[in-house]
Chain A
Amino acid sequence: NAGVTQTPKFQVLKTGQSMTLQCAQDMNHEYMSWYRQDPGMGLRLIHYSVGAGITDQGEVPNGYNVSRSTTEDFPLRLLSAAPSQTSVYFCASSYTGGPAYEQYFGPGTRLTVT
């Protein structure tokens, strides 16, 4: 199993540009989520999905859109990038959205918005 994969690893955007961060998992996990991590801080939840076709907002959803058309993929879209979105983005998945299940994290995408 490849686990959770994320592309790209690094990205530089100009303010106002749009892009999609890709996330895929091959473990047949129902639950997937996106976090961002700013320097010296813990992770903050952006959006999550409990299954294909179902998504919901996390702690910091503004400026980001998600969709979940398949179990495997959970892309994160930035519609109009802003410098405040400079961060490291992590995708995670788990078997289900229950408190007793561990989450598996991808390696991250480091995004810089100038």
Chain B
Amino acid sequence: DAKTTQPNSMESNEEEPVHLPCNHSTISGTDYIHWYRQLPSQGPEYVIHGLTSNVNNRMASLAIAEDRKSSTLILHRATLRDAAVYYCILSITFGNEKLTFGTGTRLTIIP
């Protein structure tokens, strides 16, 4: 399975934008890029996903590099409730049963 690489931890100030990077240099042409987050003592929560084009939703934006070897999750205005572990995951095309969670990036928001 294609793997992803994320920084172990990041810090950001409250009410400022946050850019969370993810490298996936072995991505195949049909892999989707998913982002989930996990707040303390909760189950993972879907954030956003995309294939080739940049994506926006109410929670975040996903910027995908033209060669698809990296992507960036953008939180436009971080709040304390955004403090969580963020996972960048690739899903293979015949089923998302193969979602593989790495250790993710622990995001700390500074008031």
**Interface of A with B (CB < 8 Å)?**
4, 31, 33, 35, 40-45, 48, 50, 56, 58-59, 90, 92, 94, 97-108
Contacts and interface: CB of A to CB of B under 8 A. Distances in A.
B85 to A, nearest CB: 9
Contact of B103 (A35, A41, A99, A106): A41
Contacts of A92: 43-44
Contacts, number: 68
B33 to A, nearest CB: 10
Given A90-B43, A92-B44, 10 more contacts: A35-B101, A40-B103, A42-B103, A43-B44, A48-B97, A58-B97, A92-B43, A99-B92, A103-B99, A108-B41
Nearest to B103: A42
A56 B42 contact: no
Query: Which applies to chain B's interface (DSSP): helix, strand, loop or mixed?
Result: loop
B31 A99 contact: yes
Contacts of B43: 4, 90, 92, 105-108
B101 A44 contact: yes
A94 B31 CA distance: 18
24 contacts: A35-B101, A40-B103, A41-B103, A42-B100, A42-B104, A44-B101, A45-B99, A59-B100, A90-B44, A92-B44, A94-B96, A98-B96, A99-B32, A99-B91, A99-B94, A99-B96, A102-B34, A103-B36, A103-B99, A105-B43, A105-B45, A106-B43, A108-B41, A108-B42
B49 interface: yes
